[in-house]
Amino acid sequence: MTTGMLVGALGQARYTTQIARAHMIPPYFALVHPRTGTPIYATLLVTSLSSIIALFSSLDVLSSVFSISTLLIFMLIAVALLVRRHYDRDSTPKSNLVKLVLFLVVIVGSSIGLAVCWGVGVRGWIGYGIAGGLWFLGTLGMQVFVAQEKKVMVWGVPFVPWLPSVSIAANVFLMGSLGYQAFVRFGVCTGLMLVYYVLFGVHATYDVAQELLDDEGGDKVVGDQLEAD
């Protein structure tokens, strides 16, 4: 378990690098080692923060927190895929957008319902039947009433919206099997990051920062290299 968490923490440095490239954290953390090509500064940041958090949590809880974050990312990717396939800003009518949002709420909500039924130990098939039925109707409704705006040119995820919807349900169900202590720590960390994003990150994206640098005639960040004008 320890080895797996260490590998997972090191892998998180790649996400940190992309966040730094968007200027939501200092772009210094987007720089990579010129010889090895690894994001050394982002790796040091992630491992340092992980070590500090590990002082206040058990290994089992930390493993569950890492699992929650990973499953949540997978679930959000499936949601994003449905939005990307069924929504186009220039061509999707407002009525279809409302339907898409409604069916997404039904799919995610019913998936949470299935996880809650399992977590609280619901006996019998009524709870599972209601939640599973809502999930089925939400997915079917998206297929029937919301047209796909973007067609796959070469290769794409098949069986849309069913396969992404199954992914949402599976990831939410797996999250529901984890302990409440992990959710408390995950909620605290998520809340702090949202506060940071609202107060600073959203105002310091790459486009905003690049405009300021252009106006000042200073350095530009191109990809993962720092270049001077």
Contact 10, 46 (CB under 8 A): yes
pTM, entire model: 0.75
CB-based contacts of 140: which residues, under 8 Å, 6+ apart?
A: none
Contact 26, 196 (CB under 8 A): no
SS3 sequence of 124-159: CCHHHHHHHHHHHHHHHHHHHHCCCCCCCCCCCCCC
Contact 46, 55 (CB under 8 A): no
Phi, psi of 221 (to 5 degrees): -100, 115
Contact 15, 66 (CB under 8 A): no
Residue pLDDT, tens place only, 61-107 = 877 887 898 899 899 999 999 999 999 988 899 999 999 999 999 99
Mean pLDDT throughout 52-57?
A: 76
pLDDT band at residue 199 using 50, 70 and 90 as cut-offs: confident
Q: State the pLDDT at residue 209.
A: 54
Match 């010889």 to its residue by tokens.
35
Closest CA to 107 of 135, 76, 87: 135
